[in-house]
Amino acid sequence: MATIVDAGPLVAAASDSGPAAARIRAALVRDAGPLIVPAPVSAEVDYLLTKRAGQSAARLFIEDIAAGRFQVECLQPAEYAAILDLGARYAALGPGLADLAVVVLAHRFGTRRILTIDQRHFRAMTALDGSPFTLLPWDEP
């Protein structure tokens, strides 16, 4: 089953050394995939890795994409209408394009699995069908 990957875990896995980062790295290794990264998230990861860990860390992320470790998916024109609707529905939370793209791509890929450290947004938001998300690695045993 597909897992949609948010920016936070990718940045933490590459640049942090705490227990949360170790748990995220384990989830990335354990997940049979595919691991779907929304295109807006990939840009966010590149920016954050460059800023926090340097260009070499950002380059390693791009190498992982080139090697097929992550599947980067662009939003389709019609999906931007869903982004606008979700943005209006969750305006009080203030999610950006990257977070909303995670929700829309979860719908496209028929999954509720999201790898994220952003529990504030993704516990409050639901899938397009109204069901809650499974947030990895937090909801795993």
Segments making up each domain of the chain, as ranges: 3-136
| Residue 106 · residue 114 · CB < 8 Å | yes
- In terms of CATH, what superfamily is 3-136? 5'-nuclease (3.40.50.1010)
* Structure tokens given for 10: 């990718």
Q: Which helix (H) or strand (E) holds 72?
A: strand 71-73
Query: Digits of tens for pLDDT over the chain (141 positions)?
Result: 999 999 999 999 888 767 778 888 888 888 878 999 999 999 999 999 999 999 999 999 999 999 999 999 999 999 999 999 999 999 999 999 999 999 999 999 999 999 999 999 999 999 999 999 999 998 976
| Residue 11 · residue 52 · CB < 8 Å | yes
* Whole-angstrom distance, CA of residue 20 vs CA of residue 77: 35
Q: How many helices and strands in the chain, by DSSP H and E? A: 7, 5
Give pLDDT, residue 41: 98
